Amino acid sequence: MKKNLFSILLTLFFLVNLQAHAQIWEEYSSFHQGVGLQLGSSGIGIQGSYPLSEAFGIRAGANWMPSPTWNVRNKVFKVKRSNVEVMLDWQPLLGGESWWARKWIVSAGAGYFFDNKFIRYVGHTKVPDPVVDYEVEYSKFRPYIGTGLNNIRLAYHLNLGIQVGYFIPTKKVEIIPDARDPGDLEYLHSKVTKFPYNVVPGLQGQVGISYIFFK
């Protein structure tokens, strides 16, 4: 008897929870349970989302950037970047009837970068086994602030999210010379720590498409 009662209560809880999530998604809240793919300045990745309440949600994901070499102004470079990230989202205008009120979110969180650097190779053209001139490494752990739009419905179970923000550096840029003359390090350091080179590595732009479980 107790076992049957427990099963009934569990079923009722699931149905109420399902209805609540559907109601939140359908009306005003920008948050939902989902998982999907994302593409942005951190690379390509996966992300899961979960609503903590009508006004707050949490996202977690992992990204990896393919890193081919390319020529810029007769110099050969490569960017290496991969990370995991967790974001807490807030919907400031929850309850508003406008499209903007139902989509706009503000985010705060952090990312940990397993790789976060660019590499300069010796020479002016791409070769099979290039010699590293120097590497520039940026902060691995970075707090994040940003904003964006969520709950842009592409289809019945598909959601589009757009985020822009900034990963805040937590330590100084490190230059690792290989073939480069160490005498040039002071000049290089002064260059990479000035605008825009000191800002660009932290900029974040991302677009994600997720599948909604509760709708």
Window from 63-67, 70-74, 107-111 with minimum mean pLDDT? 70-74
> Mean of the pLDDT values across residues 107-119?
95
Q: What percent of the chain has pLDDT over 70?
A: 86
Query: Residue 141: what pLDDT?
Result: 97
Burial of 70 (0-12, 13-18, 19+ CB in 10 A): exposed
pLDDT in tens, 148-161: 999 888 888 889 99
Q: Give me 124's structure tokens.
A: 């002016």
C-beta separation of 159 from 190 below 8 A: no
CB-based contact 192:175 (threshold 8 Å): yes
What is the pTM for the complete model shown?
0.81
User: Quick one: CA dihedral 102, 108, 114, 116, positive or negative?
Assistant: positive
Q: Is the pLDDT of residue 4 over 80?
A: no
Q: How many CB atoms lie within 10 A of CB 82?
A: 17
We find that the CATH architecture of domain 2-212 is Beta Barrel (2.40)
Domain boundaries defined on the chain: 2-212
pLDDT in tens, 122-141: 888 888 888 888 999 999 99
